[in-house]
A and B are shown apart, each in its own frame.
Chain A
Amino acid sequence: MSIGLKEPRAGKAAAQNTASRKPAGRKAPAQDRRPGSSIDVQRKKLLVPFVGPAFVLYTVLFIVPALGAVWISLHKWAGSGPMKFVGLDNYGRIFRDRLFLSSFGNTLLLLFVVGAAIFILAFAMTLVLRDMAGKKMVRNVIFFPHLINALVFGVLAGFIFNPGGMVNSLLAPFGVTDPPKWLAQDNIFPLIMVTLVCTTTGYFTTILMAGVDRIPPYYYEDCALAGASAFQRLRYVILPLTWDVFGTCAVLWTISSVKIFEIVWVFGGSSGAGVPPTQSWTAAVYTYVNAFSGQSTPAYGAATASAVLSLALISVLVVLLRRAMRRDAVEF
């Protein structure tokens, strides 16, 4: 660890001071420690050495670029040469750009359609997993895809759905002689959506499980005594008690779905120029291609405008979600 700043050992007198002020034999709980107690005073001096490095790095490498993105999105700029201030022109332009609209539409599809599918499946899996034998093992296995780079799934899908690939050879015995062209430009995006559902559900199941596992068993026992049906138990016990975990998952998915890039980039092995077919672009891909693909003059303004809109989408949704999910937290 790098923080080597030693505070001068002035603590002794101060510490004795604390001792005399605290009534003996009473442990001070975390919350109501008096503001003036000396360890606190001393701790406060650590603000700069402790928080400083993290604050500086985070501000310079994260917050400043984020603000810079807003700034760049107001300019016409090709990455070098003069920046021309154009106000909100870039936003107007991308909204007239078919490509952007379809990319942003795809991002929304991922966010809502894939999101809904993941949640329904994850919740169903949680309910089944809740008290089945071997649940730890199942959970460990379905969590693992979360640790794999999405690139891997994209490349594998290219192999599996090849015209002469595994899916078609599996379908052949069932009399499918004319299988759909899986990797045709129009079919790639739906395939990406299916792949994402398959690879992401396990992660959210794991998180939901952690919430469901927190429910103390006597609630279920009470349900059994009261003769509640499985549905009633779900409606009146499980759902209300895991509501906050659902909210967290929804926020997580919102944030991570808008970033989806790698899997689109390589899905099915990419086409000639290294850029995936436009039908499967997401907003993140749109940003990247417009700035760095080297195919045309980089349009930094439009590219950042697209990214800033994604950020706006996230912010609005997170605020809405927090509001919608704000119920009386059930304490148990």
Chain B
Amino acid sequence: MSEYKPAAPMTARRRGRRGVSPALRGERSVVRGLGVGLLWLVVAISIAALVWMVAQAFRDTRAILDDPWGVPASLDFGNFVRAWTVGDFAVATWNSLLTTVVSSVLTVAIAAPCAYYLSRVDNKLTRGLSLYFILGLGIPAQVILIPLFVMLNKVYLTDSIIGLNLVYIGVSMPFTVFLLTAFFRSLPLEMEEAAALDGTTAFGTFWRITLPLAKGGILTAFILQVISHWNETLLALTLLQSTEKYTLPVALISFVQQQTYSGADWGGLFAGLVMVVLPMLVIYVWLGRRLTEGLTLGMGK
């Protein structure tokens, strides 16, 4: 596995490639043309599916079933209102929002100093610690599910948003520490050394030099946590039992399961799906490049 290489030269290379080498654009075969066509088809279908889903959320169930290809006749928020009130999505959205933001902020706040230490001090202990953190990357959630439930039950933290937050923070440590360690390693050391020469303490260099330099990486780590905590389902499903504690995915599952008894309310269901997907779309459109770069940076190793 090769070392992570900082992104800057990569993008420069990518940019420089266009136009420079005719060798790259030489071939025009049928297979290739077909492939390009297929790819655009995939893109078109993906976008259409997303638009379709949002459109259906504004139609009532009968209209959806009669003609699933139709477009909404008017901007009717009835589905959302019903999902919001009957499906308990209002509370669930609030819970999801709270859990996501709090746990993501704390995850990054706790992981960043740790990653900084592991990236700057190189000895047997830190190498061992890095390995210890990486270990967690390979442990699937279902392994810790039952013991976690038992443990939290003992201290009355099941069915509690605080408990869920704690779990999310603990579970996110391996990835965040791993990502930020790689990121801190890619930062130049000169500024820190200059600051140290000027008499800044070790903590001071971290707080006043490295953190401001690492803003981008930290934001990326934060957003990645927001995405994974917003979508996390299995742990929330296990740890939360009462409706007023549900997060959005759990509320969605219970909404789906209610339908088995009360008849399908596809309108409300589509509204629920949109509530789950739309925040992710907003984040992606807003910070998309940072995200893909962050993910591939973490994976470059």
Contact = CB atoms under 8 A, between A and B. Distances in A.
Interface residues of A, number: 127
A149 B46 CA distance: 15
B20 interface: yes
Given A66-B139, A216-B13, A261-B142, A144 B256 contact: no
Contacts of B16: 217
A96 B141 CA distance: 25
Interface in A272-331: 272, 274, 283-284, 287-288, 291-292, 300, 303-304, 306-308, 310-311, 314-315, 318, 329, 331
Contact of B147 (A65, A139, A166): A65
B117 A50 contact: yes
B43 A142 contact: yes
B215 interface: no
Contacts of B173: 54, 57-58, 62
Interface in A193-226: 206-207, 210, 213-214, 216-218, 220-221, 223-225
Q: How large is the interface on B (under 10, 10 to 19, 20 to 34, 35 or more residues)?
A: 35 or more
Chain A contact surface mostly: helix
A142 B45 CA distance: 10
A206 B296 contact: yes
A28 B194 CA distance: 11
B299 A39 contact: no
B295 interface: yes
Given A213-B14, A288-B145, A152 B42 contact: no
Contact of B171 (A62, A156, A303): A62
A147 B226 CA distance: 10
Contact of B259 (A1, A28, A60, A269): A269
A262 B35 contact: no
Nearest to B166: A61
B193 A217 contact: no
B65 A2 contact: no
A63 B116 CA distance: 22
A265 interface: yes
Given A50-B116, A128-B35, A304-B147, A62 B21 contact: no
A109 interface: no
A105 interface: no
Contact of A46 (B43, B129, B202): B202
B216 interface: no
B295 A207 contact: yes
Interface of A: 1-3, 5-12, 15-16, 18-19, 27-28, 30, 38-40, 42-47, 49-51, 53-55, 57-58, 60-66, 68-69, 71-72, 79, 124-125, 127-129, 131-132, 137-145, 147-152, 155-156, 159, 164-166, 169, 206-207, 210, 213-214, 216-218, 220-221, 223-225, 230, 244-245, 247-249, 252, 255, 258-259, 261-262, 265-266, 269-272, 274, 283-284, 287-288, 291-292, 300, 303-304, 306-308, 310-311, 314-315, 318, 329, 331
11 contacts: A11-B200, A50-B114, A50-B117, A54-B173, A149-B249, A214-B10, A220-B21, A258-B140, A291-B146, A307-B146, A329-B2
